[in-house]
Amino acid sequence: MSALLEISNLSAKVGGKNVLNGLSLTIGAGEVHAIMGPNGSGKSTLSYVLAGRPGYEITGGSVRYRGADLLSLPTEERARAGLFLGFQYPVEIPGVNNVYLLKAALNAKRKASGQQEVDAYEFLQLVRAKMKLMQIDESFLKRGVNEGFSGGEKKRNEILQMLVLEPALAVLDETDSGLDIDALKVVAKGVNSLRSSERGVLLITHYQRLLDHVVPDFVHVLARGRIAKTGGKELALELERRGYDWVLEVA
């Protein structure tokens, strides 16, 4: 069976600058990978390139998702095919109801796979159950998308969306940053609840502490736009202790 995600020798430019330089990474079904690395090493760029954000120019390499060419798909089709990006800075969309957006997203996905639109009542039940898991207040149902949310609320909302959409591959871009320890535990619980033998998770993070709660199978260090080192979960601890310099020197 082919890997869930297979990034080969990927290079990309943004604003005329090379940010990814021959990055290769394979994520198998059921695996959780963590990517760490210094600021400016290309972590967020990788997540945007995978999701298909406009403004990122692919200059080389390929990405195969479930055996098919991911980069030729438009952004929304990648999402419908099960690729989810948890944003580092989730945007506010004033006046657009959270539940409305979530329902539109779920239905877009269902429609793409030939399923019926979700029943309104069942949908609400589903959202309520996931809200409970993410300790999100009932008032959330009436609020606009991320409108007036605190940093922590926005991150929990990202995970809530992920749980409702049940992606095959979740790319979480610094979902842990700006969270206090309690919120971090909630987010981790959400991510762990999604882990399964069919799904893959790519965690982009600066800090080892998230990895105490969501234990990765692999930890990669990204430097200058490519994977500089790969190891098990113990690599994260070592990075925490020693910083990145020693990896960069070796690379």
> Which residues make up the interface to another protein (CB under 8 A)?
51-55, 74-76, 79-80, 84-85, 87, 90-91, 93-96, 100-102, 104-105, 108-109, 112, 144-145, 161, 165
Distance separating alpha carbons of residues 109 and 105, to the nearest angstrom: 6
Q: How far is the CB of 229 from another protein (least distance, A)?
A: 29
Distance separating alpha carbons of residues 115 and 218, to the nearest angstrom: 35
Q: Which two tokens stand for residue 156?
A: 């929990």
Closest CB to another protein among residues 15, 95: 95
Residues 6 or more apart from 162 whose CB is under 8 A from it? 84, 86, 170, 172, 190, 191, 194
Distance separating alpha carbons of residues 241 and 13, to the nearest angstrom: 32
Identity of residue 78 = R
Closest CB to another protein among residues 93, 237: 93
Report whether 94 contacts 147 (CB < 8 A).
yes
Distance separating alpha carbons of residues 23 and 10, to the nearest angstrom: 5
Q: How far is the CB of 39 from another protein (least distance, A)?
A: 20
Residues 6 or more apart from 57 whose CB is under 8 A from it? 12, 13, 14
Q: How far is the CB of 116 from another protein (least distance, A)?
A: 16
Q: How far is the CB of 18 from another protein (least distance, A)?
A: 22
Closest CB to another protein among residues 90, 216: 90
Look at the alpha carbons of 208, 210, 214, 219 in this order and tell me if their dihedral is positive or negative.
Answer: negative
Closest CB to another protein among residues 100, 246: 100
Q: How far is the CB of 53 from another protein (least distance, A)?
A: 5
Q: How far is the CB of 156 from another protein (least distance, A)?
A: 16
Report whether 79 contacts 109 (CB < 8 A).
yes
Q: Which two tokens stand for residue 74?
A: 């438009």
Residues 6 or more apart from 247 whose CB is under 8 A from it? 221, 223, 228, 229, 239
Helix (H) or strand (E) holding 36: strand 32-36
Q: How far is the CB of 31 from another protein (least distance, A)?
A: 22
Closest CB to another protein among residues 141, 237: 141
